[in-house]
Structure formats: C-alpha cells, structure tokens
C-alpha cells in the first residue's frame, strides 16, 4: 500500500510512522510535514536514511504539492495528523490553527473529490465536544455527544471534522474520523502537560498548575491511540466516527504529583497559577463503539506508561533540551501570575 502521512514529524505522527514502517515494511510510506516548531525531522532521520520512508517538507495548504504527491507516489491511503495542536497557543495566536486545521484539511478534501479511490483517515480530538462536569463522573463523551468546542484549537478541529463528514455525505469520499483523548508518550513536545512537568522537574524548575489542578483529562498512551487508528483503517466503516480513550481519567494535580514522586522531586516545585481562559474542566471517553465494532482496547496502564515515558525523557535529554527555551515561554507567562 502507498500511504501518505501528514504531520508525521510531530508527536503522534512520529510514533505512527515508526509503528507503520516496522509493522508494514512493504508499504511505501510518504510523510508530508511543514516542520513547524512542533515538527522534528530528527525523529525520523534513521528511517529516511535507510529509505524506509520518503520525507517531504511542505504545507498541507499547498494544493499543487498535495496533488503532485498523490499522483507521483500513487497514494492509496492518507492518515491526516498535521495540525496546530496546543490549546494555549491557540488562545494567544489562533491564525495558524485556522489555516492548517481548517483550510489545510479542506485542501486535502477537495483533492479527495477527484481521487475518489483514496482511503482517508482524519485524526481528531475529544476536545471538539467541549467539557464535561466535574461532579458527575458517570457522564462521558460518546459518538452521539453534540459538538461544543470552547477553544480556538477545538473549534478549528471541530470545523475540520464537520468538513470531513460533509464531504463523505455529499461527495462520497472514503473517510473515517477518530476523536481521541489526551496522549502521552515519547516525542511529545515539552509544552504539553506531561513532558513539560517531566522536563522542568528534571531541571528542578517550577511547575505551573493552572488553577486548582482539579481538571480531568482521560490519558491514553500514544501507542494505544495508534493501535486504534490501525484498527479503524482495517475494520472501520466508511463515514463513521470512533472515539478512542485510555481509561485514564485523572486530575492534573495527580499527574503532576505522580511524576514528581517517580522522579523523587519535591511537591514544592508546584506553583498554582491563574487559570487558562475558557479551561475545559473534564474530558472522558466512552469508547464502547470502538471496542464493540473494531476490537479496540487500550493496553497500557497509566502509572507504568508514565514511568516508561519519564525514562524516555531521562534518556533523551539531547532531544528535548533544544526545544525547551521555546516550550518554556508559555510556562513562564503562567508562572508570572501565581495565585
């Protein structure tokens, strides 16, 4: 199979490309990535050098480039990860989110109208559903939950999801969508909560916890997310959406303290800071549709996965130390407003 992976040099994309090239070595794997601050070609260097993948630096908004890739490499499947992905950045500067997440997805969809044979999987987020209440843990997101995005990031992803669905209904493109909860694991840019806490704790630096830290995320190991996408590509029904989650609901403060405990660092590094604007309180996924229809089951235990992830960051300081000055900018801003 000839597969195009957009955003393959980012966190989840890298893990997906590495998984795919090892599981399906006969496939032709083409990666298209703009290499924004979040994309890192070093993640894939060994695969590029050994011709296991073809890497193209470019923008998904560029329709001529997209069409050239589709024709030249006879693309049969597209897995679409490319996006601006950090909520705090979307609050400060939403324009890139609109361009990449909405216009970029639209450009791919327009080509799918013409290249109707291509199987398309759109990687999305549970954040499109807005937030759940903290006081009723029985309520979770399902495929029937109505969209209610509350940040520019989630609104841009919601727009893209709607476009994908509309192109499936209107033009018959062969698309599926997954909405997954918060991922953790290797290669995650150290601006997101888990790698931010690990890298700052390793440097004995203060850790900003937004508000009380009682917000809840449903953490999933990136490898489980990838298994879910593979299952959707194999068994998912065209036009369907699948929610993927990790059975990993935890308060932010639990995650932060757990990381400090594993690293043997003091809780005194924690600084409660002014809350994120429009902060979603809780996300939680009911993934029974994916479990029943495609056999999805998250395999990774959160505490074990956290230990492994911490070890990865400990062993790969060269990877993250260069990224840290940029990743720290948002943390510094929050830390200037302690509560």
Does residue 252 interact with ligand TYD by CB under 6 A? yes
d(CA 276, CA 87) in angstroms, rounded, equals 9
What Å distances lie between residue 306 and 18, 182, 216, CA to CA?
20, 13, 16
From the list ligand TYD, ligand NAD, none, partner contacted by residue 111 (C-beta under 5 to 8 A by kind): none
Indicate the SS3 state at residue 55.
strand
Size of the site for ligand TYD (CB under 6 A): 13
Near ligand TYD in 302-331, by CB under 6 A: 331
Any idea what the Cα angle at residue 102 is, between residues 99 and 106, rounded to 5°?
110
Distance of CA 244 to the CA centre of its chain: 12
**Contact set for ligand TYD, span 266-305 (CB under 6 A):** 276
Q: Does 125 interact with ligand NAD (rule: CB under 6 A)?
A: yes
193 binds, among ligand TYD, ligand NAD, none (CB under 5 to 8 A by kind): ligand TYD
Residues 71-100 that bind ligand NAD (CB under 6 A): 81-85, 100
Residue 200 near ligand TYD by CB under 6 A: no
| Shorter beta-carbon distance to ligand TYD: residue 192 or 225 | 192
Measured CA to CA, the distance from residue 313 to residue 302 in angstroms comes to: 16
Q: Considering CB distances under 5 to 8 angstroms, the limit depending on partner class, which of ligand TYD, ligand NAD, none binds residue 36?
A: ligand NAD
Judged by beta carbon, residue 13 or residue 305, the one nearer ligand NAD is: 13
**Which residue, 208 or 298, has its beta carbon nearer to ligand TYD?**
208
Say if CB 184 and CB 306 are below 8 A apart.
Answer: yes
Residue 13, contacted partner among ligand TYD, ligand NAD, none, CB below 5-8 A by kind: ligand NAD
For ligand TYD, the closer of residues 29 and 87 by Cβ is 87
Q: 92 CB contacts (<8 Å, ≥6 apart)?
A: 330
Catalytic residue IDs: 126-127, 153
At residue 177, φ and ψ (nearest 5 deg) are: -130, 140
Q: Whole-angstrom Cα distance, residue 229 to residue 108?
A: 19
Which does residue 215 bind out of ligand TYD, ligand NAD, none, counting CB within 5 to 8 angstroms by kind?
A: ligand TYD
Q: Give the Cβ contact number of residue 65 at 10 Å.
A: 16
Q: Which is nearer to ligand NAD, 87 or 273 (CB)?
A: 87
Whether the CB-CB separation of 211 and 270 falls below 8 Å is answered with no
């Amino acid at each position: 199979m000839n597969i195009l992976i957009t955003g393959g040099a980012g966190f989840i994309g890298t893990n997906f490309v590495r998984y795919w090239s090892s599981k399906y070595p006969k496939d032709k794997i083409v990666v298209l990535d703009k290499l924004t601050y979040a994309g890192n070609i070093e993640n894939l260097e060994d695969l590029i050098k050994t011709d296991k993948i073809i890497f193209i630096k470019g923008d998904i908004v560029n329709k001529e480039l997209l069409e050239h890739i589709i024709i030249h490499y006879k693309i049969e499947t597209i897995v679409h990860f490319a996006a601006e992905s950090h909520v705090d950045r979307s609050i400060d500067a939403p324009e890139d989110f609109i361009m990449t997440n909405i216009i970029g997805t639209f450009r791919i969809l327009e080509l799918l109208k013409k290249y109707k044979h291509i199987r398309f999987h759109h990687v999305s987020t549970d954040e499109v559903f807005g937030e759940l209440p903290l006081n009723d843990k029985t309520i979770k997101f399902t495929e029937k939950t109505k969209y209610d995005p509350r940040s520019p990031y989630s609104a841009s992803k919601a727009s893209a999801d709607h476009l994908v669905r509309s192109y499936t209904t209107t033009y018959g493109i062969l698309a599926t969508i997954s909405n997954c909860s918060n991922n953790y694991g290797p290669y995650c840019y150290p601006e997101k909560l888990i790698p931010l806490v690990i890298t700052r704790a390793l440097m004995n630096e203060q850790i900003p916890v937004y508000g009380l830290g009682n917000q809840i995320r449903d953490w999933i190991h990136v490898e489980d997310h990838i298994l879910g996408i593979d299952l959707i590509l194999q068994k998912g029904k065209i036009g369907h959406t699948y929610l993927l989650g990790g059975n990993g609901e935890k308060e932010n403060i639990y995650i932060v303290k757990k990381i400090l405990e594993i690293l043997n660092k003091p809780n005194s590094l924690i600084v409660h800071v002014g809350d994120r604007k429009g902060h979603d309180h809780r996300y939680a996924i009911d993934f029974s549709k994916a479990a029943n229809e495609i056999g999805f089951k998250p395999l990774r235990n959160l505490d074990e996965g956290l230990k492994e992830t911490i070890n990865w960051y400990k062993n790969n300081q060269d990877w993250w130390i260069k990224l840290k000055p940029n990743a720290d900018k948002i943390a510094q801003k929050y830390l200037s407003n302690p509560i």
